[in-house]
A and B are shown apart, each in its own frame.
Chain A
Amino acid sequence: MSSAISKTIDSERVFKYLLIAPAVFVILLIGLYPLIKLIVTSFQNISMFDNDLSYQGFINYERLLDDDRLWKSLLHTIIFTAIALPIELVLGYLLALLFLEKLPFKQTLVAIILLPTIISPIVAGSIWRLMLDQRFGPINQIIAWFAGGDVRLLWTVETALVWPAILIAEVWQWTPFMFLLLLAALSNVDKEQLEAAQIDGASWWMTFRRIVLPAIMPVMFIAVLIRALDLFRVFDVIWTMTQGGPGTFTETISIYAYQMAFREFEISYSSAIAFLVIFLLTVTVVWALRRVEVSR
């Protein structure tokens, strides 16, 4: 009897490891190996000119501290994230409220609204670059209608306009994502609790704060986490619209890292940058998750 059981247990063990092996293998390849290479390279001195594989200590990391362009790009990234995220969240929430109750053609409308999210960020950036074109773009034309005269805003060139332009493209593309998630979460709020609150006489704000918000918090948290990470790593849409320009005005950390690695061939230095980014992200995520655990 016992040998039959242990046989099943053994074959089960083999089975479960077999199932997970391909995934682990593939991830190790693309996840772990590059990381190790990154760390190793960051301690070397490889660039376009030098191919020095010897251990160079922390010179690359020291260089990080003095690099103005790096910290500027980091600042750009953080401010960009800090502005886009709340906008997407609030707009998404308002949209979800609008669509919450019965509505004719709801499913079709929701599917159409989802379009921006499913197209490539490259295409999104391209579309907005075309839309915001100073001469032939419809946006300037629409503004001209309101302003009364010709409008020739150089959205992708003027420093006052570039970031708004990028934000418009970004918010346009990702608000639907928030919208969909929040719509699902709001639909799942227990109707009876809302009715009880009505009978208890709670105001709209009290109902929101004490019943709705706690109920949608898990979904909101995930949504915010995913978007925050994506915003931090943003590359495609900015690349298409301004390539980080004018100059380095709209350069984010990902664009800077790309420039260092693939344009200037500062391999070792870009590895250090990459490592810094991973470090910052990990710290932030761990901190965020800790906060969630504590509040539980």
Chain B
Amino acid sequence: MPDLCLTDINKYYGDVHAVKNVSLEVPSGEFVVLVGPSGCGKSTLLRSIAGLEDISDGDIKLGQRSIAGLAPRDRNIAMVFQSYALYPYLSVYENIAFGLRARKTPQAEIDRQVAWASDVLDIGDYLKRFPRELSGGQRQRVAIGRAIVRDADLFLFDEPLSNLDAKLRDGMREEIKRLHEKLGKTFIYVTHDQIEAMTLAQRIILLRDGEIEQAGAPLDLFERPNNTYVAGFLGSPTMNFVEVTVKDGSMVLPDGQALSVNGAIRDGAYTWGVRPEHFSQSDEGGQGLRAKLEVIQPTGSRSYGTFHLAGVHLIAELGAHVGEQDRREVTLSVALERTVFFDKASGKAVG
């Protein structure tokens, strides 16, 4: 199975520079997720790989051959669309068989492949039905079935779960992950949902305004973000950002409270990034920051408390049973070594 190699991809829509010098190497079999907000260029990039969009500049190589100028049908790729794009006038069987028929595969072979795909996705019962008779989740499976039934080199997914409701999405995420393990093919998956990115990817490519902000394993991006943008994008609830100054080995917050940083950070002005789970409620009088608990949002297994601290609202993760009686000034201890410091001017991570 070939590796995918994108070199200096540029795409212009008129004057708009939608994709800026993107280079990417995807080894065969990897599950890569392109993630970012609307307009970041992820769909454009995916469609360029598919051949549904032309690139203005750069090269796309699958293994040894360059596929940049080829029509979609010649690239040996498969794609799953956001709105499934099933053929409404064909049965489920015919939908899945469509690509095989187009390549003039013999009927016996078609039967075999469709049976295999419907087995993997558990849609054997619907083969004779039509798309309009199926639910959203079932249609999505048929769309995936249509993709996997061809022995493609590359599998592209364009926000496939966006049109499903939350519960269904959770289930499908797991199925897609299993599917990848089973097939062992290269998956390129586009989404705007950071949870999908975190849970599915072997490698996340986070895009902004047509450029790669950071690429790497999910936990890498999560624990060691390159800048405030990456840090703020991943994780829910989002990371807290506080303006601080470091002086003489101490980190000073806007309200004067200070914590010792032991010289790990040079003096200067920084944006301090601390995630809700980096906080914990300290015993009375312990080392930490004083803050007033204002709002409590229990989720069952834990609670998220909104604190007023140094003129900023912070969210911290608390125990499940925090209640009204705790709405007062408390002491929060911080796992400083897990927090991240960003240069105040550039937003880039330091240290």
Contact = CB atoms under 8 A, between A and B. Distances in A.
B50 A199 contact: yes
B102 A201 contact: yes
B83 interface: yes
Contact of A196 (B51, B81, B89): B81
B146 A198 contact: no
A40 interface: no
Contacts of B77: 199
B102 A192 contact: no
A152 B206 CA distance: 75
Interface string A192-213: 1101111111110010001100
A211 B90 CA distance: 9
Contacts of A193: 85-88
A241 B214 CA distance: 75
A190 interface: yes
Contact of A200 (B51, B83, B99): B99
Contacts of A197: 87, 98, 102
Contacts of A203: 102
A213 to B, nearest CB: 9
B85 A192 contact: yes
Contact of A192 (B73, B83, B101): B83
B52 A200 contact: no
Interface residues of B, number: 25
A31 interface: no
Interface string A153-194: 000000000000000000000000000000000000010110
A172 B82 CA distance: 43
A246 interface: no
A199 B102 contact: no
A214 interface: yes
Contacts of A200: 73, 98-99, 102, 146, 150
Contact of A199 (B79, B83, B86, B101): B79
B298 interface: no
Contacts, number: 64
A212 to B, nearest CB: 10
Main secondary structure of the interface of A (DSSP, over half): helix
A190 B131 CA distance: 14
B71 interface: yes
Interface in A198-254: 198-203, 206, 210-211, 214-215
B92 interface: no
Nearest to B152: A199
Given A206-B102, A211-B87, A214-B89, A198 B81 contact: no
Contacts of B90: 210
A217 B78 CA distance: 29
Contacts of B101: 206
B164 to A, nearest CB: 16
Nearest to B83: A192
Contact of B79 (A190, A196, A202): A196
A195 B73 CA distance: 10
Given A195-B81, A196-B79, A206-B102, A201 B73 contact: yes
A206 B103 CA distance: 11
Contacts of B71: 198
B37 interface: no
B140 to A, nearest CB: 13
A202 B88 contact: no
- Pick the most buried of A190, A192, A200: most chain B CB atoms within 10 A of its CB: A200
A135 to B, nearest CB: 55
Contacts of B81: 192, 195-196
Interface in B27-84: 50-52, 71-73, 77-79, 81-83
Nearest to B97: A200
A202 B102 CA distance: 5
A190 B85 CA distance: 8
Interface of A: 190, 192-193, 195-203, 206, 210-211, 214-215
Interface of B: 50-52, 71-73, 77-79, 81-83, 85-90, 98-99, 101-103, 146, 150
21 contacts: A192-B83, A192-B85, A193-B85, A195-B52, A198-B51, A198-B73, A199-B52, A199-B73, A199-B78, A200-B99, A201-B99, A201-B102, A201-B103, A202-B73, A202-B98, A203-B102, A206-B101, A210-B87, A210-B90, A211-B87, A214-B88
